[in-house]
Amino acid sequence: MNFNYTELRDKIEGCWIGKNIGGTMGGPFEGTKDILDIKGYTTPKGEPLPNDDLDLQLVWLKAVEDIGPHTLSADDLAEYWITYIVPNWAEYGIGKANLRLGLPPLISGEVNNNYWRNSNGAWIRTEIWACLNPGNPDAAIKYAFKDACIDHGLGEGTYAAVFVAALESAAFFEKDIRKLIDIGLTKIPKDCRMAQAINLLLNNYDNGVDWITTRNDLVKQSEDIGWFQAPANVAFAILGILYGKGDFKQSMITAINCGDDTDCTAATVGSILGIINGKSGVPEDWQEYIGDKIITVSINRAVGPRTPETITELTDRVMRLIPVVASITDGKKLPSVTITDAPTDENPYVMDETLVAKRLFERGQYSFDVNLGFANGVISYDRCPQINPGESIGVNFKIFGRFWPIPENLTVRFILPDGFTVSGPKYLHMNHGTMQNNWYHLTETDYVITAGETTEALNRIIVEIVCQGHPSVGLFELTLLG
């Protein structure tokens, strides 16, 4: 997959400039419930507003630089959350509180999070995953899911992040917004609220309904899940682009005039159009007004990390990473991204409606991933991981091979708190297995854990899985709240 250096850099720089413009222009109106009538900037020239939409992505960039892309996990991002990210509002605070309890991603985004799991904190930070995986939505959504599930679990906020990441990644090759929307929709469940909001928008637009009526219809559709929620706000951003006819200024102003989470909607309009048209397609007067600076508010500078201070530096650091990141996904060798002076390839992306996205969402609400060395696993509780004295909770283990499968024998051992018991097999046999969603599904089994006469506020269970003849010892923790 060949990208012309100048063209790719122009698109990436356009993405981040558009993000900075939108966050600054929409920031003063964040939370507005009424329809607005703005015309442009209301902030001082040369002073971009700080915005968590961009801040968190600077931390994710550092995580990819530090750890590398192919082993980067939700657990790694969780550690960066705890160490480097300051805010504790809404889903950010709930996710961080759950992480501090020892609850792993995705469970950290589910527990005590019925409202904010559907909110905007994840889809606003997807550009980093799209820019690192240009033209490869299936790779971008894997990273976006790892990121979003930390504070949104399997809520609408995660569906929104997957939708937007896919759209933005595809925008490096595709300019037609309707085709981009279609690609995004294939990556999320057809019946989720995020898909319903986009389909309402498209139906109204196609039938000639004006933007104000459509905006009001989206607000009404989301009344039962509340304000500051992802379905309506993502739809406001796409509404801006559709009704603004892709014009940068008109699209951004229209999105902001919808109200609600205006810094987020405007910033996403800016990033999408920045990718499609490049920096050269962003109005020069708006570029000059905002400048090149990045001003942060959400990063803990007392402990680092060194994040980009300008759009130019951010673009350069992303460009250096792209050939490393965009190489392998889902066990299939994809064409590596080569940045050359030659013309950019025509769109090589073949839309996959099921494989990657289906695997992301085919899991329990209270589940998490484990790396066992010789295999990967998905561990799922049958309900919220909270237990009272004498109660029982079910846990399902699904273990997937990482290598070409041969029959293997596993030994499972639980290290339990005093008085706790577990029922289930001590020995597992991994069959050769059959291919399922590009994984060899090797073994699945259920356990029941029963608490003793007393429980602690936090009850930790260590699980050890050993595969005979392999050097790795698989260790992970089951955390049960008391």
Q: In terms of domains, do 337 and 367 share one?
A: no
Between 442 and 473, the more confident residue is 473
Q: What is the mean pLDDT of the chain?
A: 92
Lowest mean pLDDT among 84-98, 130-144, 159-173, 350-364: 350-364
236 pLDDT above the threshold of 90: yes
pLDDT at 96: 97
Q: Are residues 132 and 279 in the same domain?
A: yes
Residues 73-98 have a mean pLDDT of 96
Domain hosting residue 418, numbered range: 363-481
Q: What is the pLDDT of residue 432?
A: 59
Q: Contact at 8 Å (CB) between 137 and 324?
A: no
pLDDT band of 305, cuts 50, 70, 90: confident
Same domain, 334 and 387: no
In a domain, 102, yes or no: yes
Give the end of a domain, one of 288, 320, 349. Answer: 349
What are the structure tokens assigned to 433, written together? 């297995």
Q: Is residue 351 very low, low, confident or very high in pLDDT (cuts 50, 70, 90)?
A: low
Question: Does 1 score more than 90 pLDDT?
Answer: no
State whether 342 and 374 are in the same domain. no
- Asked if 148 and 77 sit in the same domain, the reply is yes
Model pLDDT, residue 330: 47
Same-domain check for residues 169 and 269: yes
Same domain flag for 367 and 337:
no
Give me the number of domains the chain comprises: 2
Strands ordered across the beta sheet of 408-415: 427-430, 408-415, 458-467, 473-481
> 335 pLDDT band (50/70/90 cuts)?
low
The verdict on residue 355 lying in a domain is no
User: Is the model more confident about 400 or about 426?
Assistant: 426
Burial class of 376 by CB neighbour count within 10 A (0 to 12, 13 to 18, 19+): middle
Give mean pLDDT, residues 355-384.
Answer: 90
Q: Is residue 139 part of a domain?
A: yes
Confidence class for position 401, pLDDT limits 50, 70, 90? confident
Among the listed ranges 289-303, 348-362, 382-396, which one has the minimum average pLDDT value? 348-362
**Residue 298 and residue 410 share a domain:** no
Q: Give the pLDDT score at 358.
A: 77
* Res. 331: pLDDT tops 60: no
How confident is the model over 331-358, as a mean pLDDT? 67
- Please indicate, yes or no, if residue 459 is contained in any of the structural domains: yes
93 and 213 share one domain: yes
With respect to residue 415, please indicate whether it lies within any of the assigned structural domains: yes
Average the pLDDT over 311-321 and give the result.
Answer: 97
The verdict on residue 17 lying in a domain is yes
Residue range 25-46, pLDDT digits in tens: 999 999 999 999 999 999 999 9
Question: What distance in Å separates the CA atoms of residue 424 and residue 427, rounded to the nearest whole number?
Answer: 9
- Angstrom distances, CA of residue 449 to CA of 187, 320, 396, 397, 428: 35, 48, 11, 13, 18
* Residue at 356 is within a domain: no
Residue 173 has pLDDT above 80, yes or no: yes
Of all residues in the chain, what percent carry a pLDDT higher than 70? 94
Q: Which pLDDT score, from 0 to 100, does residue 349 have?
A: 60
Q: Backbone phi, then psi, for 441, in 5-degree steps?
A: -85, 110
Confidence bin at 327 (pLDDT 50/70/90): low
The predicted pLDDT at position 338 comes to 78
Same-domain pairing of 200 and 302: yes
d(CA 122, CA 357): 17
Q: Indicate yes or no: pTM above 0.85.
A: yes
Question: What CATH number is given to the structural domain containing 175?
Answer: 1.10.4080.10
Given pLDDT bands bounded at 50, 70 and 90, which one contains residue 438?
A: very low
The confidence band for 253, taking pLDDT boundaries of 50, 70 and 90, is very high
Single out the residue in 349, 377, 397 at which a domain terminates. Answer: 349
State which of 308, 323, 349 marks the end of a domain. 349
Better-predicted residue by pLDDT, 360 or 273: 273
Question: In this structure, what CATH number is given to the domain that contains residue 422?
Answer: 2.60.40.2310
In a domain, 354, yes or no: no
Q: Check whether residue 237 and residue 368 sit in a common domain.
A: no
d(CA 169, CA 162): 11
**What sign does the CA torsion over 128, 131, 137, 139 have?**
negative
**Residues 320, 380 within the same domain:** no
